Structure formats: C-alpha cells, structure tokens
Structure 1
C-alpha cells in the first residue's frame, strides 16, 4: 500500500465525489495529498478525513478555472516540497448548463460551449501549469486527466458534453507528445457512468421525468450495454488512478484508459 510513498499530489475540484475518491486512494498509498476546491470548508473536511485515516493531506482554496490561483497554489506546493509528482482534476459540469438531454437543434451556443470551456478548459489550465512546475523542478511526474465515455458513444442530445470529452482525449495525447521528453506522463481516465454518485442518480431522476418514463426504465439505459453484471465503483476508480501514477503504471502514457468494466457500445 506504499506505492506512492512520499509522492506529492495535488487534486483539483476535490469537492466532487470522483476527485475525493482519487485523493483518498493517493493518500492510502502513501502520497502527500493537497486537496483543493472553491469551497475551502469542503476541502478541509476531506483533508481531515484523510488525516484521521492515517494519511497526509492539506486543504487549499483554488478555483480550477482561475489560472492565477492554480499557479500560486502549485508554486507553493513545489516550494514546500521541492517537487510535484502528480495532479488530478475531477471537475464536472451541471448537465443543464451543458445542454445535456437537449436536442442539438434546440441547445444554445452557450450550452454547447459550457462543457468545452469549463471541463476541457479547466483540464487545460491545471495540466499546463502543473507541467511548467514539473519541468522547472525536474519532477518526472504524471498529469492525470478525467473525462467520460461520452467521447466514444453515439448518444443523442449530448453535443457539448461529448465534444468536451473528445477534446480532453486529444489534449492528453498532445501533452504526452510535448512533455514526454521531460519524463512527464499524460494519461486520461475515461469513465463510464458511476451509478453510486449523486450526479448520475440525479440525472436519472430528471431524465426519466422529462421523458415521462419510470425511473427504473431510465436507469437501464446506463447499464444495458455492460459486459459484466457489475459496473465500476468510486473506490475502484481511486485505485486505478493510484496505479496509473505509480511506477507500476509507467507503461501508460498518452493512453485513454477506459474505466467501465467493458461496454458493448463504447468504441
């Protein structure tokens, strides 16, 4: 359980369930974890939970869409530790703001652009600032991005979100090509629906109401293409992230790692 012993990790958007799971896994494997969010109280609660469990964590207030805040925080982390080993950004988007569930002919330009600016834009900002500090400090680190399998499925009424997910995959490959000469890996976890999360459960409830069908029938749309009887969990996602940033995950670079237990409808 010490595959990340004394590694320095920064997790952005740690108020979300996904980023929280990754932060816990990093800490459980021995990393020093800096958890950040716009809501400092939420970040502090996560850090206190990690410390109470025997891990090492510190909370910070950072807007993952504010480059000066990102830069100032990572500068402090490197100054305190002399290195930066990995970063993870779990930022998401409220589905209504992203036009998810709205036909492409009806979605506004603002809705289409929202996930591109918010989700892909934030990944771009945190990744490139982290790369600068990894290069400056000589850290052979890992930039771990996150998106959803919507990039690889043929799902209607998800134009903006699907475009943002596909863009993150392209960004991952570009950064791997640029930063590899500095020993820096860039990897993207491409997740299927995490059924235990509040976000997915909320979408199921809202979409079933909009479609006028039972909630159970709508929920089947998220699992009907599964190859296994069980889907991925938050804990498994955290463990996957910890593996990818460890020395054991060195073979993964520029890769888009499908995290869905296998889906018939994913390319």
Structure 2
C-alpha cells in the first residue's frame, strides 16, 4: 500500500544510514523524495538508487545547519511543486566530532554544547523553515524529528548527546502545540541501537577500545535488555516513518515514537 502517494517529501542529512532508509521507504510508498546532505556524492548515489528501483527522487547539496541554504532549497521545492508534505531530518553526531566521551567532570562547556548545537539546533532550523512553507501553502504536512534512546537512558560519559536527545523530544512537543492549529503534525522517531548502521558499529568499536573489553561483550550487554530478544532493522525504521507521515499516523502527533522492539532499560 502506498501511504504517501503524490506526497512531496524532503529528507535532510540523507547521507546517514537511518535517513537513507527512511528516504527509500518514503519513495516505496509513492512519495516524490528530495534527498539532501552536505555530501553531494552520497545523496546523488542515493537518488540514483531510488530511481533505479522505480521511485521518484532528486538530490541536492544542503547543509542542515545553514538556515539560508535550508530556506532557499525548501522555497524552490515549493515553487516546483506548490506544496511541501513531509520533512525529515536525520542529522546525527559521531563521538569523535564531540571530542570523544569525556566524563562530565572533565568535559569542557564547548564539548557539552556541541551536540546541542548540531543535533537539536539543526532539527530546530529545518522544522521551523518547513513549517513556514507548510503554513504558506496550507499543506497541513508532517515534520519528523530524530532523537535517540539516550534521552531516557542512564549512561555515563555522554552528557552532551543525552541532553541534546532530550531537547529534541521537548522541541517536538512544543512545535506540535504551536503548529497544530495549521494542521501540521510534529512527531519524533527514537530508534534503538540499529546494529547495521555505521554509527553504532563505530561506537561499539570506540567504546570497546576505551574500556578494554571485546566488542561482543558490549553488544551482549545491550541485547540483555531486549524484551523480544531482537533488534529493529533499518527497513523497520523506514516503514515506521512512512506510517507516521501518512494520514493514519496522525494519531501520533506530538509523540516520541520508540523504534526499538522494546527495551527494559528505557523509560
């Protein structure tokens, strides 16, 4: 079933594994998908892949932390299509970008604020510009934000990313309340650790080296909290996003939707 037939969708930071999977799912459900990222080669490749599979996709180089670029691109999308139905921002941050995983007592203020600016700041920029054009065109669309289960976990040495994840979820509720009167729904997707992604693989390797333990031990510790003894896949995350962006998904407006198959250690 094509939940998003004839919808116009923009995916920011589409060079990432999660955003790429969501862009593919949007296309499979009938949407015209614009994939953007700072890495033009990556999104051009993704667009070619989507088109080869029978989908409708275009690529562009857009920095999801540059409001001028965001605004200019969405303005053009609206000019070309007359509307904007769905926006998803898949921006994330690697630990090495944030200065590693310093203890809170050792982290500098700059290190603490870096993920707040990149993760939450980018979500704020893309969401508010998208809302502006949705309101102007009366699109009554969907804005999907991305968080992480860190927001409701209890892990050491990740104060900045944990705070940024919680901030995105708070931003979701505030924006949903602000724009609901214009028919815009705002939802946050919070996947668990997707083992097949490059970011989680890199985190496991980094943490294993930092603590001097085998990677398999860290994976086993994470899986010990699985309720269903399984983990979500990228395809499942993509299908969840497509459902939430559909008319049926309206029931989840303002919510943070966990995509983790259930975890005993997540609130």
- 1:235–1:244 CA distance, 2 compared to 1 (3 A): same
The Cα of 1:130 is off from its aligned counterpart by 0.1
Residue number in structure 2 paired with 1:8:
8
Whole-Å Cα distance in 2 between the matches of residues 100 and 164 of structure 1?
A: 16
Residue number in structure 2 paired with 1:184: 184
Give unmatched runs, 5+ long, in structure 2: none
1:123-156 deviation digits (Å, cap 9, x = unpaired): 0000000000000000010000001000001111
Q: What is the CA–CA distance in structure 2 between the aligned matches of 1:155 and 1:177, rounded to whole Å?
A: 30
For 2:86, the equivalent position in structure 1 comes to: 86
The answer for the alignment partner of 1:68 in structure 2 is 68
Map 1:1-267 to 2 at 5 A.
1-99=1-99, 101-267=101-267
Q: Report the Cα distance in structure 2 between the residues aligned to 1:258 and 1:237, rounded to whole angstroms.
A: 10
d(CA) in 1 for partners of 2:12, 2:179: 20
Deviation at 1:98, TM superposition (A): 2.4
How far apart are the structure 2 equivalents of 1:262 and 1:2?
27
Q: Distance in 2 between matches of 1:77 and 1:221?
A: 45
Assess if the C-alpha contact under 8 Å between 1:100 and 1:161 holds in 2. Answer: no
Q: For residues 80 and 168 of structure 1, do their structure 2 counterparts lie closer, same or farther at Cα, with a shift above 3 Å needed?
A: same
**Kept in 2: contact 1:7–1:30 (CA 8 A):** yes
* Partner Cα separation in structure 2 for residue 138 and residue 100 of structure 1: 43
Unpaired runs of 5+ residues, structure 1, are none
Q: C-alpha distance in 1, partners of 2:156/2:53?
A: 43
Question: Size of the alignment, in residue pairs?
Answer: 267
* Distance apart, 1:228 and its partner CA: 1.1
Q: Which deviates further from its counterpart, 227-236 or 97-106? A: 97-106
Equivalent position SS for 2:143: strand
Q: CA RMSD in A?
A: 0.9
Structure 1: how far apart are the matches of 2:247 and 2:100? 38
1:194–1:232 contact (8 Å) kept in structure 2: yes
Cα deviation for residue 100 of structure 1 reads 5.2
Q: C-alpha displacement at 1:99, in angstroms?
A: 4.6
More deviation in 191-200 or 164-173? Answer: 191-200
TM-score (norm 2): 0.98
Q: Which consecutive aligned stretches of 4+ in structure 1 deviate over 3 angstroms post-superposition? A: none
C-alpha distance in 1 between matches for 2:98 and 2:151: 15
Once residues 20 and 127 of structure 1 are traced to their aligned partners in structure 2, the CA distance between those partners, rounded to angstroms, is 19
Report the CA distance between 1:189 and its aligned residue: 0.4
1:114 and 1:200 map into 2 onto residues whose CA distance is 19
- How far apart are 1:222 and its partner, in Å? 2.4
Aligned residues of 1:99 and 1:160 also touching (Cα < 8 A): no
How far apart are 1:96 and its partner, in Å? 2.3
1:101 Cα deviation (Å)?
2.8
After superposition, give the CA deviation of every residue in 1:191-221 in whole Å (9 maximum; x if it has no partner).
Answer: 1100111111111111111111112112223
